[in-house]
Chains A and B, each alone.
Chain A
Amino acid sequence: MAAGPVTVRLQREDFDIAAEQRRLAEGRPDIGAVVAFTGICRGGQEGTAALTLEHYPGMAEEEIGRHVAEAGRRWALKGVTVIHRYGRLVPGDNIVLVLTAAAHRGDAFAAAEFLMDYLKTRAPFWKQEERAGEGKNWVEAKDADQAAADRWKGPPRGQAAE
């Protein structure tokens, strides 16, 4: 099963969630649910002043595309949009947008969570963090993110082993 129309974009500039959702779902009476996940640069108690995102041009798009295709095999999707920003971002800035469209909400929710878990651990992006008075440090990968991605290993839901 394909994931429907797929848009994958990497960009420096911000994205417009409402415009992206219209682009995905307008004029599509077969779509009954769109789940939108937005990842936002966090500041607050952690003291992050800015994040700089580096990526591997070419591979990032291909790797995201592979996971969108996998999501399309696992769930009945009607369309997917993934937009990931790179460059320097400050707290409150959008980082990533995942939109998943389906006939029913279950498929859209599950596919959005799957895609985010894989983006965190498999898409070639690296965050460098700036803190007030500390300079820059590369963010270390979190075991919790790997554990979240590992949950999806094994046979896809609804497809019995042969």
Chain B
Amino acid sequence: MKVLYFAWVRERIGKTEEVVDPPPTVRTVGDLAAWLATRGEEYAYAFENPKVVRAAIDRSHVKPEAAIAGAREIAFFPPMTGG
């Protein structure tokens, strides 16, 4: 599945997007964030406070307990500051 990063999550990880293949034990968005955080210092830094990082599945906001099965595109980003 494709994972996208925005704002300081993107800066900390150093990538705008990537394709990842998490193990089957990773079932929710929260699981995915926790799994990503184990992939290196830059990921651990981005997800150091997982409650702050928001997520979207296929361009809709979701909560950490949302299932990732069937998702094409999962995005992680800080709280939004538009308008």
For chain A, residues 97 to 129, give those with C-beta under 8 angstroms from any C-beta of chain B.
116, 119-128
Please give, as numbers and ranges, the residues of chain A lying within 8 Å of B60 by CB-CB distance: 59, 62-63
**Which of A71-79, A138-146, A153-161 lines the interface with chain B?**
A138-146
**Complex CA distance for A131 and B30, rounded to whole angstroms:** 35
B8 touching A124, Cβ below 8 Å: no
Q: Tell me the count of chain B residues lying within 8 A, CB to CB, of chain A.
A: 16
**Complex CA distance for A53 and B77, rounded to whole angstroms:** 14
Please give, as numbers and ranges, the residues of chain B lying within 8 Å of A124 by CB-CB distance: 6, 56, 75, 77, 80, 82
**Complex CA distance for A142 and B82, rounded to whole angstroms:** 11
Please give, as numbers and ranges, the residues of chain A lying within 8 Å of B8 by CB-CB distance: 126, 138
B4 touching A123, Cβ below 8 Å: no
Nearest-neighbour CB distance to chain A for B71, whole angstroms, equals 13
Known: A56-B6, A56-B75, A126-B7. A62 touches B81 (CB 8 A): no
Residue of A nearest to B8 (CB): A138
A127 touching B82, Cβ below 8 Å: yes
**Complex CA distance for A120 and B82, rounded to whole angstroms:** 5
Please give, as numbers and ranges, the residues of chain B lying within 8 Å of A120 by CB-CB distance: 80-83
Partner of B59, one of A59, A96, A139, A142: A59
**Complex CA distance for A73 and B78, rounded to whole angstroms:** 29
Contact-residue size bin, chain A (C-beta under 8 Å from the other chain): 20 to 34
A126 touching B83, Cβ below 8 Å: no
**Complex CA distance for A122 and B77, rounded to whole angstroms:** 12
Please give, as numbers and ranges, the residues of chain B lying within 8 Å of A63 by CB-CB distance: 59-61
For chain B, residues 27 to 83, give those with C-beta under 8 angstroms from any C-beta of chain A.
56, 59-61, 75, 77-83
Partner of A56, one of B59, B79, B81: B59
Residue of B nearest to A62 (CB): B59
A-contact 0/1 string along B9-25, CB 8 Å cutoff: 00000000000000000
A-B contact pairs, 27 of them (CB 8 A): A53-B82, A54-B6, A55-B82, A56-B6, A56-B59, A56-B77, A59-B56, A59-B75, A62-B59, A62-B60, A63-B59, A84-B83, A95-B83, A96-B83, A119-B83, A120-B80, A120-B81, A121-B79, A122-B61, A122-B80, A123-B80, A123-B83, A126-B7, A126-B77, A128-B7, A140-B81, A142-B81
B interface residues, Cβ below 8 angstroms from A = 4, 6-8, 56, 59-61, 75, 77-83
